[in-house]
Amino acid sequence: MKSLFIILTCLGAAVARSKTPNEQSDYPNCKNKDTEILYSSDDTKKEWGEENDDWCIITDLQRCPNSSDGYPCCPDCNVVYTDENNQVWGNLNDEWCSIPYRCSSNSTEVLKSDDYSSTTSSSGISNTSE
């Protein structure tokens, strides 16, 4: 009877997901673009979400709307262009980058494309809409 209790206790501990990820473990990258950030580390700068009751590492797919199309996530909230679908874009090393979700319209860092004149930016990326 005591052995059965120990086995059931061990099984229950293995099934229950820990409340915080083990930062030393290798977790898979999150696959769902809608996975929310549930935990972030100030030390490692990593962020984790949960998929299928397991921890996963947040990637640009969860941080930026256009990362699934191959565009990198911008490191900042400086909008240089807003397209006809109201997608906002920035510049990273003279290439387009996707403005992160964290840069909401309430953010003081966000600059709308209307704030720019109809010229070419210093990066060579045109910020005019047609």
Q: What whole-number percentage of the chain has pLDDT above 70?
A: 62
The structure's pTM equals 0.52
Given a contact cutoff of 8 angstroms between Cβ atoms, the answer to whether 14 and 25 are in contact is no
Q: Per-residue pLDDT for 6 more than 60?
A: no
The more confident residue out of 21 and 12 is 21
Given a contact cutoff of 8 angstroms between Cβ atoms, the answer to whether 34 and 68 are in contact is no
10 three-state secondary structure: helix
CA 66 to CA 23: how far, in whole Å? 28
Given a contact cutoff of 8 angstroms between Cβ atoms, the answer to whether 48 and 39 are in contact is yes
